[in-house]
Structure formats: C-alpha cells, structure tokens
Structure 1
Amino acid sequence: MAETVEHEPLRIIEAITPPHQSTIIFLHGRGDNGNNVAPFLVYTPINSDHSETSRRNKDITLRHLLPHTKFIFPTSLKRRFERLRNDIVFNQWFDIDSLDITDYYDDGQVEGIKESTDYIHELIKAEVEAGTPPEKIVIMGLSQGCATGAVAVIRYPVRLGGFVGMSGWLPFITEIEDIFKKEGEEEEGDATAVLGYIEKRLGSDKEVSPENVREMLKTPVFIGHGVGDTKIRPKCGERLKDVMKAMKFEEVVWATYRVGHWWCDEELIHIAAWLGAKGFSVNGLEQFMEDSIGSLSTQGVSYSTN
C-alpha cells in the first residue's frame, strides 16, 4: 500500500548539447531512487575494453554519446513490504516477494503496477505536450524498473522511441505465457489478449483497441541481462524477451553481458549505438565501435535480434 500520494520531484538532466531532441525516462530498481541512480548512468566515464583509447577514456559519458537527449529520473512511491507485516516502507514501483521473483504474489503487485505505469504515462504525456514526439521518447529501466517499464510500454497505445530493459523480468509472466499456449489465436489476437489480460488484472477500464495494439508493437525493444546476475536470474530476462517476441513486437534485441545485477560499459555502448540506428542523435561512438553494433564482443556474450 502506498504511504504517500505524491512522487518525489523528478531528477532532470538536460541535453548536454542544444537543441533537446529526445528523452530517456529511466526507472530505478527497488529500494533506490531517481536522484541516486542518475549520476551513475549519465556522469560516469565509459571505459570499454574495446581499444586502448577507450580503456583510457575519462571524458566520454552516456550523456556525451547522446548529446541531444534529456534524461528524466522519476522516483517510485514509498510502499510497505506487506510480507514483513511491519511499518517499514521504502521505494518500490510495486510490492513483491523479496525472496524470489515468482508469480505467487501477483495480487499484491496490482496496486503498485497500475499506479506506477499510469504515472509513467503521465510523464510521457508531459514530454509530448512540451514538444518531444513519442517516437523520440525511450522508457529505460533496471531490475524492478525494467519490470515496470515493460508493463508501461505494453499498456501505452502509441509507438515510442524504444524500451530498454536491463536485468529485469515481466510481472504476471506465467499467465501471459499461457495465453500463447492456447490454440486458435491469431497473431494480432495474442498481443491484444495479453493487453486485455493486463488491463483486466489491474482493474483498468481502458479500452483495448487492435489499432492501438498495432501501434504499440512498433516500439523497438532492447533487453540486456548480466550472466552473473544472482538477484534476477538471466532466465527472467529471457522470458520477458520471449513474450515480447511472441507478441510480435517489430524488433526485440536480446543481449547478455559478463556482469552481475547492474549494467556495464559495453551494454551502454550497445544501447547508444542501437538508438543511433533508430534515428537518435549519437556522437563519439567511433572509439568504441567498429562497423556494427554486434562487433563489440569483449564483454558481450551474445547478441541477437529478430
């Protein structure tokens, strides 16, 4: 249950080079906050192992690689961890079982997932009203932020610039996987059925339109996971990837890295290069990349796209 009704002020880091052309909305992990995670993502120098030059880099950050991109870091509400049955509250987009990522506590997740994804939609709407087209807005999240962002993107009725999920999972995954096991479903019907299930589960009265689903499926997807992640197992990210492919998102990239429950420099470089391929303004990748996004393999264990 939410203990407050208002979110903390947004941490906003403007584009390093005017004009502002695109926006990344980054969703933190459970127990963290937007203000804390922001400098780790945008101000830390990228020291890739790809070349001698990049290993000595002390100047180029993700903000430099995406010079015309504004970064927005919201903070989730403080929620009580109901399983503890005490008064301890901390930042989390929704309540989960801290011992494992399972489907056994789905009902406890509903309130937070609905509130949080509605809130993210409000942030998208505010950016659009300020002049940034939705196809230049990216939802990016780590861990529980990835899980929340995935549902927010599936629920959003318009094509966005992209969804980037790192070391995360998809809530309600078993029930959603079961939708694709039913015989006689049309391809488009599968995605519509998934969205219909999510809206019903969240108690939402939003109309599920096949036309809106077709637009949503145009949002490109990048999912990365650390092979050494012991907090959210890589299989959780694989299941998220498999569901999004089954829903027929037009592009779903899956990449794994030699890292734990966090990101690494190679993952950030891959993401920047991937966004560049989608029409985002990217600068300074030359020292990190050769001729393609897949060429950076020092830490990247696997990389595939449909």
Structure 2
Amino acid sequence: MDEHDPPHVVEASTPPHESTIIFLHGRGDFGSSVARSLIGRPINSEHSEASRQNSNITFHHLLPRTKFVFPTSLRRQIERFRGEAMLIQWFDIDSLSITDYCDDGQIEGIKESTDYIHQLIQAEVDAGIPPEKIVVMGISQGCATGAIAVMRYPGKLGGFVGISGWLPFITRIQEMLEKDGDFVTVLEYIENRLESGKEVTRENAREVLKTPVFLGHGIGDTKIVPLSGERLRNALKGMKFQEVVWATYRVGHWWCNEELIHIAAWLGLKGFSVNGLGDFTDGVGSLSTEGVLYSTD
C-alpha cells in the first residue's frame, strides 16, 4: 500500500493552538488546493461586522486558535475503466447518482482512509489537543469518508461538518434503521463489511453519538444532489446522534460565504474560539437543531 504524502498544515493564526479541523477534500482534489479555497480566500459576508470592516477576513481568521490539517488521499485505480487509470480519491465509486452502487469496490478505500483519519486524530491528541476540540470536516467524497470515520471513532469528537456529501452503504443502513436497528447495529454492519475485526461496544457507541453534526448542501448541486445529503441527515438522526443541524444554501457543489459563517458560529457554540461574528453567534444559539439553519427552499 502506498503511503500518504504529509498533510498540508496551517497553524492557528493566534497562539495558543486550542483546536484542530481536519478537512477532507473531494474526489480528484488535493489537500493543499482545497486549503487555498477554504482558508485563503476572503469571506466578505454582510453577516459579520468584522467582515464589513475588513475585506480580507477569511475562515482562518474567524477561528484564530484553530489549526487546520489538510490531508490528501491516495491515488486509486478507477475500476470502471478496467485499465490503469488512477485518481486521487478516498475510495473508488462507480456512480455519483447512486452512491452505493456496486459498493463492494468502495470497501478497501473506505477502510484505509478512515483508519488514516483516525491516525491524524491521534496525532493531534498526542500533541495535547483533546478529542472534544477536534473536528472532522469534508466536502463531497471527503464528507462521505468523514462521516464513516466519525462513526468508527471510539468516542466523542468536537464535531463533524459535512458539505455536499452522502453516506456510503446508505441503502442497507436505511433498511436496518427501518427495521428498528440502532447505531450499534449499523456500526457492526460497517465493521463487518470492512472486515476490520474491530469490536463494537455500546459504551463507545453512546460516546460517538454525542459528536455534534452540521450538514450543509447547495440546492443547486447537480453533482451530489441534495437528496443524498438528506439521506445522510436522516440516517444520522435515525442512529440517534444527539445533534444534527441541516442547512441548505443557494449554491451548487461547493460552499458559500454564509455557510462558512454559520459553521464558524456553530463551532463557537461548541466552545471553539471564534472571532468577529458579533451578535450573529447568539442568533445561531436560538435556532432549533431539528429544523433548517439557513434555507432558500
């Protein structure tokens, strides 16, 4: 098995380093590339007094004591081409419209990638950052991979933020939940599919379900349609994750300024150091996690 290149790391803009976001890129992208888009570009949102005063404020500035880690997935063969074609991807996939079509081909990549993400989490813990201050965040296939990584992690994390993504194995998982299955049942199924040999305990599962979740999706997304994100949301709710926020935005297969503002404000409510949001953070706190945070529906 090939080894991952070292992650692209952006240290906290204001010491001390108190929290970490591990951001997972989409299929065919790179950690360093997505870093430039996420934290290197101005937000310029009217929701923030600081952004009105400073046209160069970025997501990095909003989370001044947060370190960002941007790993890059391995290059994997695209099986549907039955040749030597390779692509940077967390796992191979045959269809973006039917995300669990022929999902046996996804297993090797999902196991390797989620194990690797756990190694990155452990490296932050070893450096003194508690799991409750570590967030797994991803877009598209990075969201799909991050969802499984969070579910497989044996404890509570600071959060999971998914943008324009989906949940692997979703059809089978939905069937289990409809038959009164629970998170333990689902997790046992996933570990068996991955042939990990990992024991699933109810004690660990109870802690995992405490990880708060924020899911955002563009209503104009034609690559990963909003229904895929809704199925992810419904599955996590069905597994009884304690907090699942669902938000839709007037954007396609990407994020927008408002979404980044909302994510930063939401993290502020979880105890992360946030700068420049003013009264907007208080407004987020009054919103129900059962509804929609921001929607153009």
Report the TM-score, using the length of structure 2 for normalisation: 0.93
Decide whether aligned partners of structure 1 residues 53 and 139 sit closer, same or farther in structure 2, where only a CA change above 3 A counts. Answer: closer
1:176 CA drift (Å)? 0.3
Match of 1:132 among 121, 124, 129: 129
Give the Cα separation in 1 of the matches to 2:53 and 2:164. 27
Change (3 A) 1:191 1:90: same
CA distance in 2, matches of 1:98, 1:182: 27
1:94 aligns to 2:91 (yes or no): yes
1:48 to partner: Cα distance: 1.6
Distance 1:18 1:46 in 2: 22
1:110 positional shift? 0.2
Give the whole-Å Cα distance in 1 for the aligned partners of 2:126 and 2:235.
Answer: 31
Distance, in Å, in 2 between the alignment partners of 1:276 and 1:112 is 33
Question: Which residue in the other structure is 1:194 paired with?
Answer: 186
Gaps of 5+ in 1: none
- Residue 24 of structure 1 contacts residue 140 of structure 1 at CA under 8 Å; is this kept in 2? yes
Partner of 2:211: 219
- Residue 160 of structure 2 corresponds to 163
SS in 1 for 2:187: helix
Aligned CA distance change for structure 1 residues 52 and 66 (closer, same or farther; 3 Å): closer
Letter of the 2:63 counterpart: L
Partner Cα separation in structure 2 for residue 148 and residue 64 of structure 1: 27
Cα shift at 1:56: 7.0
Whether contact under 8 Å (1:258, 1:300) holds in the other structure is: no
State how far apart, in whole Å, the 2-side matches of 1:122 and 1:52 are. Answer: 38
Task: From the superposition, tell whether residues 276 and 302 of structure 1 become closer, same or farther in structure 2 (CA, over 3 Å).
Answer: farther
Distance, in Å, in 2 between the alignment partners of 1:199 and 1:14 is 34
Task: Give the letter for the 1:300 counterpart.
Answer: Y
With over 3 angstroms needed to count, the CA separation of the structure-2 counterparts of 1:118 and 1:53, relative to structure 1, is: closer
Counterpart residue identity of residue 292, structure 1:
G
SS at match of 1:40: helix
**What RMSD over aligned residues (CA atoms) do the two structures have, in Å?**
2.0
- State whether residues 31 and 90 of structure 1, in contact with CA within 8 Å, keep that contact through their aligned partners in structure 2: yes
Cα offsets for 1:153-203 (capped at 9, x unmatched): 0000110000000000000000000111214x5xxxx01001000000111
Q: Structure 2 CA distance, aligned partners of 1:65 and 1:54?
A: 10
The change in CA–CA distance for 1:71 and 1:99 in structure 2 (over 3 A counts) is closer
1:267 aligns with 2:265: no
Aligned counterpart in structure 2 of residue 108 of structure 1, from 99, 105, 108:
105
Contact 2:92 2:105 in 1 (8 A): yes
1:240 lines up with 2:222 in the alignment: no
Provide the C-alpha distance between the structure 1 equivalents of 2:110 and 2:200, rounded to a whole number of angstroms. Answer: 18
Give the aligned residue type for 1:128: V
Gaps of 5+ in 2: 288-292
The change in CA–CA distance for 1:133 and 1:290 in structure 2 (over 3 A counts) is: closer
Please state if 1:143 is matched with 2:137: no
Secondary structure, counterpart of 2:220 in structure 1? coil
Instruction: Name the CA distance, whole Å, in 1 between partners of 2:23 and 2:96.
Output: 25
TM-aligned CA deviation for residue 207 of structure 1: 0.3
Alignment CA distance shift 1:52-1:200 (3 Å)? closer
What is the CA distance between 1:222 and its match in structure 2? Answer: 0.3
Q: CA deviation at 1:54?
A: 4.0
1:114 deviates by 0.2
For the 8 Å contact 1:47–1:56, the answer to whether it is kept is no
Alpha-carbon distance, 1:63 to partner: 0.8
Task: Provide the secondary structure at the position in 2 that maps to 1:211.
Answer: helix
2:80 pairs with 1:83: yes
Match of 1:301 in 2: 295
Q: State the alpha-carbon separation in 1 of the partners of residues 18 and 232 from structure 2.
A: 29
Kept after mapping to 2: 8 A contact 1:45/1:57: no
